[in-house]
């Protein structure tokens, strides 16, 4: 719950506020001080969001990562010294702009690398969203940093075998998360020292399923592609719950869910 939605409170109003109020403010806004925009927030991000609201409507626009989440992703790029990022689900480009900007700020060169691709690859099924994203990359000055590959990511992921990414961001269709997760691990698409970030892993609709049995790695069938329509909220909750249980029981990885927004799961490979 974010209590500061419309206006930024002044320092005087924040001083002495309850810790709960203060935390909700930190989580809702990119900066502790509303007058300071952190350097990790690209200057065009507010416009990308405003344009997306205007063109797609607010509820659809909310699919974009928030500034705070973008800053978090930015921080991870610097922390692990990422050079390449794979994003599954790019929409109108917000998270890709954050990743690209972070790589640029960390001295990674743009343009085509040895793989024939730019440092960030985004996969999205929508040509329309991809075209909007590409324009947003130009406006953000990161067009040399991002390639969008249009099509079903379940099919296109296989074509990336042989390429290695330091960060893989899962933010497309939730029923395919487990497939994406298994594929990037089993095909070596995520670096051994890399990070998988899965978004929306604590959606409200998951709560009815907490504690219910779900497939765990030794009973699941990795790499089996099943094409499923986008689920209703019951199915969505179940599918996210199953993904959470799957990764939580997976001996290959260490998992930490950040209880921010609709849940952000961080996953890293364990040795061996
Ligand atoms: C939550 S949005 C991504 C938001 C984006 N990361 C951002 O910050 O703006 C999900 C995206 O996944 C895409 N998508 C859904 N199913 C897909 C699939 N099977 N393959 C590739 N993209 C898919 C949608 O077109 C949509 O743009």
Q: Is 41 in the pocket of ligand 1 (CB under 6 A)?
A: no
Closest by Cα among 203, 262, 265 to 2:
262
Q: Is 174 in the pocket of ligand 1 (CB under 6 A)?
A: no
Neighbours of 79 (CB within 10 A): 9
DSSP-assigned states of every residue in 88-149: E--TTSHHHHHHHHHHHHTT---S--TTSS-SEEEEES-HHHHHHHHHHHHHTT-TTTEEEE
Residues 261 and 259: their CA atoms lie apart, in Å, by 7
Atom of ligand 1 nearest to the CA of 87: 6
Closest by Cα among 146, 152, 148, 93 to 125:
152
pLDDT in tens, 87-126: 999 999 999 999 999 999 999 999 999 999 999 999 999 9
Q: Determine which of 84-93, 128-137, 244-253 has the lowest per-residue pLDDT on average.
A: 244-253
More confident residue, 71 or 210: 71
Q: Is 150 in the pocket of ligand 1 (CB under 6 A)?
A: no
Helix (H, G, I), strand (E, B) or coil at 70: helix
Residues 160 and 121: their CA atoms lie apart, in Å, by 10
Give the mean pLDDT of 138-163: 96
pLDDT at 259: 83
- pLDDT tops 60 at residue 5: no
Residue 131: pLDDT band (50, 70, 90) is very high
Q: How far is the CA of 209 from the centre of ligand 1 (A)?
A: 24
Q: How far is the CA of 92 from the centre of ligand 1 (A)?
A: 9
Residues 218 and 211: their CA atoms lie apart, in Å, by 19
pLDDT at 82: 98
Domains of the chain (ranges, CATH numbers): 17-269 (3.40.50.150)
Q: Is 95 in the pocket of ligand 1 (CB under 6 A)?
A: yes
pLDDT in tens, 199-237: 999 888 888 787 777 766 654 444 344 444 455 777 888
Question: Residue of the nearest CA to atom 27 in ligand 1?
Answer: 91
Q: Is 91 in the pocket of ligand 1 (CB under 6 A)?
A: yes
Best substitution site from 55, 62, 124 to test ligand 1's pocket, by max atoms within 8 Å of Cβ? 124
Atom of ligand 1 nearest to the CA of 133: 9
In this structure, are residues 254 and 270 in contact, taking their beta carbons and an 8 Å threshold? yes
Question: Residue of the nearest CA to atom 14 in ligand 1?
Answer: 172
pTM: 0.88
Average pLDDT over the chain, rounded to an integer: 86
């Amino acid at each position: 719950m974010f209590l500061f939605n419309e206006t930024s409170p002044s320092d005087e109003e924040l001083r002495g506020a309850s810790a709960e109020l203060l935390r909700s403010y930190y989580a809702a806004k990119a900066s502790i001080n509303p007058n300071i925009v952190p350097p990790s927030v690209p200057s065009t991000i507010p416009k990308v969001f405003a344009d997306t609201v205007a063109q797609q409507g607010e509820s659809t626009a909310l699919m974009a990562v928030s500034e705070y989440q973008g800053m978090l992703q930015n921080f991870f790029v610097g922390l692990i010294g990422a050079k390449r990022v794979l994003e599954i689900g790019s929409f109108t480009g917000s998270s890709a702009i954050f990743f690209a900007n972070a790589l640029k700020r960390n001295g990674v060169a743009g343009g085509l690398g040895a793989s024939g691709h730019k440092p960030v690859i985004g996969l999205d099924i929508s040509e329309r969203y991809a075209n909007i994203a590409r324009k947003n990359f130009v406006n953000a000055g990161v067009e040399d940093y991002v390639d969008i590959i249009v099509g079903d990511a379940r099919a296109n992921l296989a074509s990336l075998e042989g390429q290695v990414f330091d960060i893989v961001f899962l933010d497309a269709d939730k029923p395919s998360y487990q497939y994406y997760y298994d594929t990037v691990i089993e095909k070596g698409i995520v670096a051994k020292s890399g990070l998988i970030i899965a978004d929306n892993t604590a959606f409200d609709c998951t709560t009815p399923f907490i504690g219910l049995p779900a497939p765990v790695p030794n009973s699941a069938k990795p790499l089996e592609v099943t094409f499923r329509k986008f689920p209703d909220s019951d199915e969505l909750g179940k599918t996210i719950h199953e993904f959470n249980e799957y990764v939580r029981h997976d001996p290959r990885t260490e998992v930490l869910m950040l209880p921010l927004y609709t849940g952000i799961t961080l996953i890293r490979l364990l040795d061996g």
